[in-house]
Homo-oligomer: A and B are copies of this chain.
């Protein structure tokens, strides 16, 4: 620890100079809360995240309120934050209807949420894998026609609660299909947090072989088995420069009541800063934001860095 609550900086060779953090706390985190967070609190959360230097903040999801009531206020929330300077605010769109709502509000970045496995496509989207891709195709095409940036999430890239290990070539097939549709970037999700570093390396290598360049790949690790940051390091060593994370580790995991789901942005920033990798994030302001959000939610942040730094401040 340095006296100012920041790690000592010692770069390591072979790592990128800069990483873009795709902050998912406001969407992926808050959609897992039992009760919906008030719209004004969400807006303030997003403003504070931008104030901490995060430049890509996934704001909400234009999914039908029946499926995700926690984010039913997307149409009210988005206009409250859409003019934030310096921050891109992607939103999730499940289908044409969601895309229309997002475009009507001026969204410039959207994301679709695909699955690498049949079981999760069935459970989450009630479709076969190919049917779900067929649904996304016109959504992606319409978005691209409007000049909108499209991210394609691919969930269950490393393991699936029903199917077990997921073959990398199956993930690659979904990834190339999303790229062929026009997705500008992909986010490889370890939705149940089971991956280890060799799997990460193997999948990234295979994607490169199949013509998906590392520059368009983001990684999205969950910390269910404590592997998220080690897997992120493996991805950085492969050249990945986009990492998804959730402020304060927001976002529950259905498989472990008290464990976190998402990699905590603060834990990620601690590592990146220690490695001398630029993120533009002010760790102190980010931690203060997560402490504030934890107060709104009435329970402590699961981020270890947030706990360590906020305890230190007392």
Contact = CB atoms under 8 A, between A and B. Distances in A.
B10 A225 contact: no
A239 interface: no
A8 to B, nearest CB: 4
B255 A312 contact: yes
Interface residues of A, number: 58
Interface in A215-233: 223-227, 229-230, 232-233
A267 B159 contact: no
A211 interface: no
Contacts of A104: none
Tell me how many chains of this kind the complex includes.
2
A7 B196 CA distance: 8
Interface stretch (A107-115, A118-126, A257-265): A257-265
A195 interface: yes
Given A197-B271, A271-B196, A2 B164 contact: yes
Contact of A304 (B202, B259, B271): B259
Contact of A233 (B195, B224, B225, B233): B233
Interface centre among A3, A160, A165, A226 (most CB of B within 10 A): A226
A85 interface: no
A287 to B, nearest CB: 11
Interface string A115-157: 0000000000000000000000000000000000000000000
